[in-house]
């Protein structure tokens, strides 16, 4: 992982980052460290897109054991602190029971389990991100 943080780009770059890995996958941590390094290097993150198992990072219901780092809370804090656009794929989220208030009502479910800073939206957001970014990076499979 040390090599991941030792990158240097010439000039200002705008990144779009897609995460496909869930909270237990090391790729979720790698993506967060990469995103931190991007911003600390003076670059910009135009979009964060959470797909497949990564939609679980948007759930407010996950609880980590006390002796483990809470990657979900770290992502939430990072996104909020830097006011980033964090889009959760709505199709992947619905399949995995990750719902915001509007979707919980739409599908007549008893409760929502996600809220700001996460936004449920479609893959079109990722396509838009790819068109406006200088670089796109994906973590997970």
In angstroms, the Cα distances linking 94 to 21, 45, 54, 90, 98 are 16, 26, 13, 6, 6
Q: Please, which residues have CB within 8 angstroms of residue 42's CB and are 6 or more apart in sequence?
A: 12
Segment (H or E) for 49: strand 44-50
Length of the chain counted residue by residue: 141
Round to whole Å and give the CA distance between 41 and 91.
33
How far apart (Å, rounded) are the C-alpha atoms in residues 64 and 15?
A: 29
Residues identified as active-site: 89
């Amino acid at each position: 992982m040390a090599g991941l943080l030792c990158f240097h780009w010439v000039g200002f770059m705008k990144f779009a980052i897609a995460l496909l890995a869930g909270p237990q996958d090391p790729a979720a941590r790698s993506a967060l460290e990469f995103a931190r390094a991007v911003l600390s290097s003076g670059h910009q993150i135009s979009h964060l897109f959470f797909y497949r198992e990564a939609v679980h990072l948007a759930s407010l219901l996950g609880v980590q054991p006390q002796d483990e780092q809470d990657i979900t809370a770290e992502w939430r804090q990072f996104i909020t602190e830097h006011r980033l656009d964090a889009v959760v794929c709505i199709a992947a989220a619905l399949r995995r029971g990750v719902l915001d208030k509007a979707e919980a009502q739409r599908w007549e479910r008893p409760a929502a389990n996600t809220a700001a800073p996460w936004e449920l939206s479609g893959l079109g957001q990722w396509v838009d991100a790819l068109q406006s970014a200088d670089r796109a990076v994906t973590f997970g499979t």
